[in-house]
Amino acid sequence: MKRVRRLWGIGWIALRQLRSDRMRTLLAVVGVTLAVLSVTLLAGVGAGVTETGRETFDQSGRDLWVSGGPIDIAPSTVGGFQNPIPNAHPLADEIGAHEEVRTAVPLAFQVVYVSADGEEFDTTMGSGTPGAGGSVSITEGDGFIGPSTHYAGGNYTGEMTHQALVSPELAEKYNLSVGDTVHVGGTIQTARENEFEVVGISSTFANFLGTGTVTLRLSELQTLTGNAYDDRATIITIETVDGADPAAVREELAARHPKYTFRTNEEQLVEVLERQAVVLAAGASLVALGVVTGGALALNLLLSIVYVQRESLSVLRAVGATRLGVVGVAVTQSLTIATLGFLVGAGTTPLLAAGLDRIALAITGFEGLVRVPLSAYAVGALVAFGFALLGGILGAVRVTRLASANELLQ
């Protein structure tokens, strides 16, 4: 009972001292809150980017990705860059002949001009695919109807189907619906001369690229953008048969086609993230900087709280309080501030994360880029209570080193 009364007395004194200087206490709580938010929000960005990327690849229904190297910037060409895989149709057919490959689909992406009226043109991302198939989800309309007649066995001499899929963003921007027409081309003149019927609304490539898209049959996009002469594509996606091991299929195909790089979904995600190494490094630096600055602010304020109470603490020592009791008062104050700061930080994290996610969606077109994992709250708690204990103990050490009340006041 005596120990309980002693603990109660330490807690009562600590809280009373905090109430005596509410502004300083509030600033200390804000410092801890900032340290917690710096951990939870920035960790949420990192976790959200990784998880969104993984979900995007998983939802694609693809098992392997074939690339031919980086996309070359070609300012003098239509679209502004050159896709890295030549002879894409024959290569996809050859890969598709593998006994454990169900489909191999070449895809191309190029900047194109679009217009709803043939007068005012904007640029957007054009995507090309041999057909809608199972790799393209259609939310409205029937998608591409009939065979791809333009490719004509590699001659590109057949009639164009002039059918197009548009993303929901593009449909909203131009007030398009199934049955309407839209002009598409690699140049304004080409776009003015080529009018396509909207045969479906699809968010597949918009989700993958993070921007509004218009999707044409691959050969038609190649012709409109000057990529038909060498049948260029950006990437080839592969779906394996049920029960196949994608990693084993990758090894076999890589041995047959050493000029190209074959990756699984996980490897492709890692490759994408590695290209953003500078951005990721900057994010990690911001996390570290946020923890250091927020923690330093909290630590400084906690130390100052103990310092301005040196007269009161000297009185406690003078009337017989033990060194452990003085340390207990300082640590109790620090833990109280840490608890309040953590609760405020953790409580406001979901709201701030939702706001950041909306900003990220508006900028990048991707949803879910800010997802705060539970582990981030745990790390935030460690930061809050770690700096609190450090501040309380360091502040009390100076007080307990002095023997008398007079020395404490010097």
pLDDT single digits (tens) 359-368: 766 665 566 6
Identify the pLDDT of residue 126.
Answer: 92
* 299 vs 185, more confident: 185
Letter string b/e over residues 179-198, b meaning 16 or more CB atoms within 10 A of that residue's CB: eeebbbbbbeebbeebebeb
At residue 201, what is the residue type? I
Asked whether the predicted pLDDT for residue 209 surpasses 80, the reply is: no
Average confidence (pLDDT) over 403-410: 47
At residue 382, what is the residue type? L
pLDDT band at 197 (very low <50, low <70, confident <90, very high): very high
CB of 28 closer than 8 Å to CB of 309: no
Asked whether the predicted pLDDT for residue 249 surpasses 60, the reply is: yes
* 3 vs 189, more confident: 189
* 194 vs 283, more confident: 194
- Three-state secondary structure call for residue 166: strand
Convert the pLDDT of each residue in 6-31 to its tens digit.
444 444 454 555 555 667 677 778 87
Average confidence (pLDDT) over 143-171: 90
CB of 387 closer than 8 Å to CB of 298: yes
At residue 20, what is the residue type? S
Sign of the torsion formed by the C-alpha atoms of 195, 200, 203 and 209:
negative
Token pair in block for residue 158? 């057949």
Identify the pLDDT of residue 408.
Answer: 46
CA angle 347/349/355 to nearest 5° reads 130
| Among 397, 269, 355, 271, residue whose Cα is nearest residue 37 | 355
Q: Using alpha carbons only, how large is the chain's radius of gyration in Å? A: 31
Say what angle helices 22-59 and 2-20 make with each other, to 10 degrees.
Answer: 90
pLDDT band at 206 (very low <50, low <70, confident <90, very high): confident
Q: Determine the longest span between alpha carbons in the chain, in angstroms.
A: 101
Tell me the C-alpha distance between 281 and 38, whole Å. Answer: 16
CB of 218 closer than 8 Å to CB of 129: yes
